Each structure stands twice: as C-alpha cells, then as structure tokens.
Amino acid sequence: MPNNPLAEIRAGFFAECEELLETLHDSIAALNVEAPDADLINTIFRAVHSIKGGAAAFGYERLVDFAHRYEGVLGGLRTDHSLITESMRLMLMQASDALEDHVESARGATSPPTEGDSILAELQMQLGQVRDQHDQDDFFYQPVALDLSTLGVETAAWQVVFAPQGSLYSNGNEPLFLLRALRTLGATDICCLTEGLDSGLAEFDPMQPALSWRLSLPAEIVEADIREVFEFVDGLCVLTISRQPRPDPWIESATIEVIQPSPEANPAPSPRQKTDTIPIVRVDLERVDRLMNLVGELVINQAMLAQSVADAGIAPNSPVMTGLEAFTKLTREVQDSVMMIRAQPVKPLFLRMSRLVREAAISTGKQIQLITIGEATEVDKTVIERLTDPLTHMIRNAIDHGIEPPAMRLAAGKHACGTITLKAQHRSGRLMIELRDDGAGIDRAKVMRIAISRGLIAGDSPQNENEIDNLLFMPGFSTANSISPLSGRGVGLDVVRLAIHGLGGRVSIQSQPGEGTVFTISLPLTLAVLDGMIVRVADQTLVIPLSSILETAALEPNDVRAIGSGLSVLELRGGFLPLFDLGVELGFRAPIRHDDGGIVLLTRHEDESRSALIVDTIVEQRQVVIKGLHRNYGHIHGISAATILGNGQVALIVDPTDLLSRPPLPPSDMAIAG
Amino acid sequence: MALTILAVDDSRTIRDLLKLALTREGIVLHMAEDGASALSLLQDLTPDAIISDINMPNLDGFGFIEAVRRQEKFRTVPILVLTTEAAPELRARARAAGATGWIVKPFDTPKLVRALHMVVGRVD
C-alpha cells in the first residue's frame, strides 16, 4: 500500500527523476558542439548526479551503477569541452534514453536494459577513459531494507469521524474547539461533511446539527490522547476512531487534481505506469502562482476601495460599509486559503534527510545520528521542493567531509557517534535552516592549497577565514581525497549556493576546526504578504518588516555619538547600537544632522545583532502584499521587494539585514572548471 | 485577553487550590461559595467558563447549572463540574442539567487547565 512515508518518498523520487530526465534531454538538445556552454554541461552533469544520489538511497543498484558510469563520462566532458562532437551528442542522447529505461526498470522492478552499456563503453573509449576502477572493485551498493519502526511511524493514519448531536451544543461544547485541541496532537487534516444540508432549505431545521467532520491524524498519535479530547462529548456525538490507510495530510493538502488508476480505461500497461499510484497532487505551479498573484491584486484592490469609502465619509452602519466589511473578511479568508495550498511543514523534507543519513552512515562506515528540530515549521511548498537538492548535498558533504570515522573521533576525545543537527525555524520573517555537524571542521590550509592548485584564486591573495570557508561554494571544488560514490565529484556546495540564491535566500558557513561546521540557510517565506511598518524617510514611503523591528523610540540628539569616518552609535539604556539613517543608506539623501529628532527603529537581524535605523515618521502598521522585484531588477541591495499601498502608491520593502550587511562577495560563478 | 472564570465551591480548601492553580495561569478568577451567591454574581459577570462543585448548600450544582443554562446569555458558556469520584451517574445528572464536562477531585492542575483551555477554544 502506498500509505507509508517510504512509498511517498519513493514516488517523489520517481517524479523528480522525470523532471531530471527532461532537463537532461533538453540540455543535451540545446548543447552547441562548436561552443559548449559550461553551465549547460554542469546542468547535464548534475541531473545525472541527482538521479544517482536518489537511486542510491533506495538501493537501486543497477540504476546507481549506470548513472555512476554515465557521470564519469560527463565528468570527462566537463573538464575538457573540446571533446564534445556532434556524434558524441547523439550518443549522450542515447545514454540518457538508457538512463530513462533504467529508471523505469527500477520503478517497475523489471529487469534492467542492457543496450546502454555498449553506448557508455563507446563513450568511454572515445574519451580515452580507462574503465573506472570503482565500477569493478569498490563501488557497490548494499541495499538496506527500510525499517519503519525506526521512523516511529505506523503505516496507517488515524481516521476520526465525528458527528455531534444537538445535546453537544446545548451543553456548551463547541466542535471548533475540539478540532483545535486535536490539532495540538499533530498535523490534522480536517474535512467537513455537509450531507446533512443536502435535503435543502425546506427540510432544514436550524436547531438540529447538520454538520459532521472527518479527520485524519498522524499515525504516531496515541489513541488515548484522541479519546481524551472527546472525553466530555462521549455520548453526545457519534464518534468513530480507526486506523485507516489514507495518504498523509501533507500530500493530500497539496492535491488539486487527483490521479486515480483506471484499469478499464487503460488496459495495456504503458511503460510509464506507476507502480505506486497514490492520489497525488500535481499542480501546475504556474496556475498556483497566478492565483496567488490575483489574490494579491484582490487584497490591494480591497485596501484601495476601503480607503475610498473612508475618504467619502460614508456612515459606519450603512449597507456600503456592511458590504465592505464582509468583502474584507472574505478577501482575508481567500488569501489564507490560497496560502494554505502552498504552506507545508518541512517534515517530509526532514524525513527524507533522516533516511539519507542512515544510508550514508552505513555506506561510509561512520556512526551518525541525525537530530531534527522544528519539523512542523511551515513554509511555501516551492521552497520545500527546491530545498531537497541543496539539503541532500549539504548533508552528504557533512557526512563525507565533516564527520570523522569513529576511531578518529575517539582519538580526538569525541563520542564515536557523530551528530548532525537539522533545525528549521521562523526568525525575522524568514525561514532559517541550520545544519550543524560536530565533525572535524573545515581544514582551511587544505582548502587554500586546492583552491590555488585549481586556479580558483591567486596564490598570493590574502584570504580571511570566512573567505576561505566560502571557497567551498566554488563550482567544481571538492576536497575529498578520492572520488566517493556518496558526494561524488565536487558537485555540491556550488549547487547549494545557486539553488539558495535562486530562492532569494542566503547561505553561510561557520566552522570551528575540531568542533564542527554550521551551515545557515536563510530563506524568505515567500508567502505573498508581510506585516509591515510603513515609514516615511527623505520624502519616500518605505515598508519595514514588522518582524525585524524590536521597538521604536524618539531620536534624542544627545544620545548620538559620532565614532569617526561618518559612523555613529546610539546610546540606549547604557548600551551602544550602530546607528544608520535609512535615507542615507538607501541613497535618498546626504547625511544630515538630526537635531530636530526623528524616529529610530531598533532592528534585530538574523544573526541576532541589533542596530538602530533613523526614519522621519511612522505612518502606520499594516499587512502588505509582496511584489517581487527580482525578475525585473535582480537583487537590489537592501530591498527585498515592493508593495502597492491602499492609495495606489508603490513602496519598497526594506530588508534591514541585507541593507546593513557588507555587500556580498562577488559571485564566483565565473570560475567553472575547464 | 485573560480568561475570566467563575468557580463555585463551598470548600475553602478547594477554592484556595483553584485560586493557586488558575491565577498562576494568568486566569482572572471570581469565586462563590454556593449556587445562590454564584447566580447573583452572574448578574454582573460574563465569565468565559464556569467551574462548579455539585454538593453545595443554598442551591446545589445541578440546580445552579440548570439555572445558568436557562439564561439566554449563558446558553453556550462552558460549565465544568467538580466531582469527588468519577461516578458515571453523577456525570449523567450533571450533563442532563447542562454541564459541558467534568473534573475529578482531587484535580490534577495541568489537566484542569488543559480542559479549561479546550472548552473555551484557547488552544495554542
């Protein structure tokens, strides 16, 4: 049955394979053999690499083996573009077709195709590659049966059907409150059943309950906890609590179109027929985005209408106002519902990672435990989907390069078992993901040696510790002494950084030699609205995210201390905070004296540091709709997006952390190996 | 908004225990020592929930609950009864009078607070 986490992850892997294969085909088709594009070759390489990585997690030995050899061929092409010819491009196409056959054979558990082997052999010969020793000797994969008990998950979720009787209401019980209490037990999928209303208005008795609910709760909940919630209404309702094979709520909540297998309509099994067909939610993301945008417009429109009505001085109890209130409420509900389509807990992502860690621990002979924190943290579905690859790479890197073998750990006075901590939380209106390992940390001398030997940096350029750590994000950088089947040939941290940037996020490394490494990813929630404070500065209207404002205060000129080179600090309750004029920082005005006051916003940044921002006035606090600027303007220092205010005016949304940070290091994307 | 609760019990000890347990949770607690005085308190008070003992002088718990439920403004107010033992027939009588739920004495503070929060819909 498909209703267990493993089957879901596996189905997800094959869906991902389809996308990757499509990318692979498109990229090979787009390859210009005269002047091969390095990015395109990297994309091709990574597609095969990703398929290999996922296949290894499920123990699809033949698929891994084929992808591994194919990757070897592509690695050769990546280092020397001049080897690419038109005939070779066709062979790459054939090899990709063979890879697709291998994927299908893994999916359908049929015997794998063999024709691809000769193509690979031919490619290897043309590239002058001796057969990779790994293929013959030490590259093998030991499939490991998944033990569901280690996931602490039973296969069947709880299904609760709850139909209140009239006496439930007359005794002061409220179904909504019971549902709320249930939700504290775990992610609850709630479906309201309205059959009681089907008989129509003539038959409708307002004194009789007409609604009932069907709920699905995570399998790991204890039945007694569910029963406790219903303790007071026992006998006042019809209640059934059972374990039902049902897809987990986070999958279903994403479903828009339910794909059901229909044997009659499809008598001949097509090669693409899925073995694990679960009601999957396949939504064209563009449609959801379009809906989101429209709802954003709706919210702006509603705000503008409200403003016009207020300006027209219409009486509060007039039908116009009543109608407007209902409209406002509905708009809010539509907005929340649309958000809910996209907001998902990070739990499935983390679940996938815990399996990855177990498998990787076995294949590397290291002892590793994964601690996950904040699984219920919700974030936009796109963000979750696009985090899978970067996180996979980062965890593999942590296992391969961070965590030491048990003997080495013991010698260093550590526990033989390494710990990787994966933590998600909302902070300052962003999603923060922290990946911490207690391994050896970054060997900076080695990183420098390799970077110099690869020509990534000049030998004499001085680098501080942070800059050295960031060299790991350069394409093609790999510090592993030998190529490992796990994290591969230096695909990894460059992919991570590109993917995170693509989401409008940031990634940073902090490492303590001997103590471990911490990767911190900061991502916008990309939920299309934001609670903001509207401020005026230098005749501009700007929005500051409320989440980054700790407090506001009047600016007392006596509390400002100049500390040279145009910098100043604000003395506040005996401490000092760096002080900035928002208008100056954004280039709206030259530095001015603030003798006649102004307002300071005390802001908190993602690294928990604080600073003070001077603005002229505060207009109001309100929710604003985020309108992205990235697509049209790229990254603007200090500005995360824009919004449209109730009066139709466009206002920029300030990102205080970005604004007050040093301009980022120039992107190292240009240093593609080869 | 802090929760406002009316607790009715003739035992000073129980009232003190309730006070200790509930005020610590930030709950605004009003107390009465019998059903009759509780009813008069309710003329000017609209609590979010009511906790009531059953055995009390001057109108017992059943009579008190019935009287409360008859009032339009308290038709859906959650009422929890305090019972000394989990006697099913006492619960049935309390429920017939209109009680929402029950707490067994000696009460377990976290459970009491949880039950209160649930019946008023204040769940985190």
Q: Which residues of chain A make contact with B101, given a CB cutoff of 8 A? A: 173, 231-232
Residue B110, token pair as written in the block:
């976290």
Cα B6 to Cα B58: distance, rounded to the nearest angstrom: 17
| Beta-strand runs (E) in A441-528 | 506-512, 516-524
DSSP assignment string, A421-462: EEEEEEETTEEEEEEEE-S----HHHHHHHHHHTTSS-TT--
Cα A355 to Cα A147: distance, rounded to the nearest angstrom: 10
Q: Quick one: A53 exposed, middle or buried, by C-beta within 10 A (0-12, 13-18, 19+)?
A: buried
Candidates A171, A173, A182, A236, partner chain B, best to mutate (most B CBs within 10 A): A171
Residue A500, token pair as written in the block:
């995170």
A179/B contact by beta carbon, under 8 A: no
What was the pLDDT predicted at A140?
37
How long a stretch of residues is chain A? 674
Size of interface A-B (CB pairs under 8 A): 50
Q: Are B119 and A173 an interchain contact pair (Cβ–Cβ within 8 Å)?
A: yes
Each residue's pLDDT tens digit, A616-642: 999 888 778 777 777 778 778 888 888
Band of pLDDT at residue A569, cut at 50, 70 and 90: confident
Q: Are A232 and B100 an interchain contact pair (Cβ–Cβ within 8 Å)?
A: yes
Name the residue type at position A527: L
Which chain A residue shows the shortest CA-CA distance from B115? A229
Nearest CA to A674 among A391, A526, A485, A476? A476
Q: Are B100 and A171 an interchain contact pair (Cβ–Cβ within 8 Å)?
A: yes
How many alpha carbons lie under 13 Å from residue A379 in its C-beta half-sphere? 28
What was the pLDDT predicted at A668?
36
Q: Which residues of chain A make contact with B119, given a CB cutoff of 8 A? A: 172-174, 177, 232
Chain A nearest C-alpha distance from B115 (Å): 9
Q: Are A172 and B100 an interchain contact pair (Cβ–Cβ within 8 Å)?
A: yes
Q: Report strand pairing: A157-164 vs A237-244.
A: antiparallel
Q: Which residues of chain A make contact with B77, given a CB cutoff of 8 A? A: 172
Which chain B residue shows the shortest CA-CA distance from A232? B101
DSSP assignment string, A90-149: HHHHHHHHHHHHHHHHHHHTPPPP-HHHHHHHHHHHHTTPPPPHHHHTT---------GG
What was the pLDDT predicted at A462?
65
What was the pLDDT predicted at A280?
54
Give the orientation angle of helix A285-311 with respect to helix A319-342, to 10 degrees. 160
Each residue's pLDDT tens digit, A364-392: 888 888 888 888 888 877 788 888 888 88
| B interface residues, A as partner, C-beta within 8 Å | 69, 75-79, 95, 98-102, 115, 118-121, 123-124
Q: Are A172 and B77 an interchain contact pair (Cβ–Cβ within 8 Å)?
A: yes
Q: Is omega for the bond preceding B106 within 30 degrees of 0, making it cis?
A: yes
How many alpha carbons lie under 13 Å from residue B15 in its C-beta half-sphere? 14
Q: Are B121 and A169 an interchain contact pair (Cβ–Cβ within 8 Å)?
A: no
What was the pLDDT predicted at A489?
41
Q: Which helix (H) or strand (E) holds A23?
A: helix A5-30
Q: Quick one: B79 exposed, middle or buried, by C-beta within 10 A (0-12, 13-18, 19+)?
A: buried
Average pLDDT over residues A14-22: 85
Of the segments A113-122, A136-145, A584-593, which one has the largest average pLDDT value? A584-593
Q: Which residues of chain A make contact with B70, given a CB cutoff of 8 A? A: none
Cα A469 to Cα A511: distance, rounded to the nearest angstrom: 8
A204/B contact by beta carbon, under 8 A: no
Nearest CB to A173 within list B69, B100, B123? B100
Q: Which residues of chain A make contact with B51, given a CB cutoff of 8 A? A: none
Each residue's pLDDT tens digit, A452-485: 887 777 776 667 787 788 788 876 676 544 444 4
Cα A130 to Cα A605: distance, rounded to the nearest angstrom: 53
Candidates B100, B103, B120, B124, partner chain A, best to mutate (most A CBs within 10 A): B100
Q: Which residues of chain B make contact with A176, given a CB cutoff of 8 A? A: 121
A207/B contact by beta carbon, under 8 A: no
Which chain A residue shows the shortest CA-CA distance from B124? A184
Chain B nearest C-alpha distance from A155 (Å): 28
**For tokens 């406790």, what's the residue?**
A228
Q: Residue A289 forms beta bridges with which residues? A: none
Q: Residue A70 pLDDT more than 60?
A: yes
A168/B contact by beta carbon, under 8 A: no
By the 8 A CB rule, do B74 and B43 touch?
no
A176/B contact by beta carbon, under 8 A: yes
Q: Residue A246 pLDDT more than 60?
A: no
How long a stretch of residues is chain B? 124
Average pLDDT over residues A287-302: 81
pTM over 0.90: no
Q: Which residues of chain A make contact with B75, given a CB cutoff of 8 A? A: 170
pLDDT-above-90 percentage for chain A = 5
By the 8 A CB rule, do A373 and A561 touch?
no
Each residue's pLDDT tens digit, A402-446: 889 888 999 988 888 889 999 998 876 678 999 999 988 888 888
